[in-house]
Amino acid sequence: MKEDMGVEPTTVLPETATQLVEFERLQRALADAEERAKSHWEQYLRALAELDNIRKRAARDIEAANRYGLEKFAAELLPVKDTLELAVHNASRADATSLKEGQEATLQLLNRALQRLGVTPIKAQGQPFDPERHEAMMARESKEPVNSVLEVVQPGYELNGRLLRPARVIVARAPDGA
């Protein structure tokens, strides 16, 4: 009937149909990719916001640790301070023996407080010299093994296994002419 009107029917060539199908497939793939990109962008923005929150929280935690980190230390030392104040207050009425006993008791309080805080003395006497934990003040001739600690001049301390102060020591050296 269309032929009667002078219009020829349109025929779709298989090649054109294939291109149309491929074009539609690519449009769907592009729409899917755009949707995934939008989703990824939103996830990225949420991750950035979460990272910013973590940074702010960490900064607050560090500030609080700096501000209140010494609280336990101060609480442990207050009984030592109280004992020393009592000793000073009563010094005029005390004899030498009671003063010595008070000093020993105060030293015990201080040692216990340091121990509870994780501060431990370095055992150096008779040990081999360790430059990581000992500071040699001098070397003395001795029959003891060379480089062993003969005497502790000033004790060293560690805080939870980390060096606070090295032990100052006198180290053995070989006798002259030996």
Tens digit of pLDDT for each residue in 9-40?
765 445 677 888 888 899 999 999 999 999 99
How many domains is the chain partitioned into structurally? 3
The rounded distance, in Å, linking the Cα atoms of 61 and 122 is 32
Please provide the average confidence, as pLDDT, over all residues in the chain. 89
Tens digit of pLDDT for each residue in 128-150?
999 999 999 999 999 999 999 99
**pLDDT in the model for residue 122:** 96
Q: What is the mean pLDDT of residues 38-57?
A: 97
Task: Judge whether 172 lies within some domain.
Answer: yes
Q: What is the mean pLDDT of residues 94-100?
A: 86
Task: Judge whether 2 lies within some domain.
Answer: no
Helix axes 96-116, 71-90, angle to 10 degrees: 180
Among 147, 156, 153, 138, residue whose Cα is nearest residue 174: 147
On whether the pTM is more than 0.85, the answer is no
123 and 178 co-located in one domain: yes
Higher pLDDT, 132 or 6: 132
User: Is residue 112 scored above 60 in pLDDT?
Assistant: yes
- Please report, for the domain that includes residue 123, its CATH number: 2.30.22.10
85 and 131 co-located in one domain: no
150 and 125 co-located in one domain: yes
Task: Judge whether 50 lies within some domain.
Answer: yes
User: Is residue 5 scored above 80 in pLDDT?
Assistant: no
Q: Are 167 and 150 in contact (CB under 8 A)?
A: no
125 and 172 co-located in one domain: yes
Which residues constitute the domain of residue 75?
A: 71-117
Q: What is the mean pLDDT of residues 65-77?
A: 84
The rounded distance, in Å, linking the Cα atoms of 133 and 152 is 12
Determine the Cα angle at 87 with ends 82 and 91, to 5°.
155
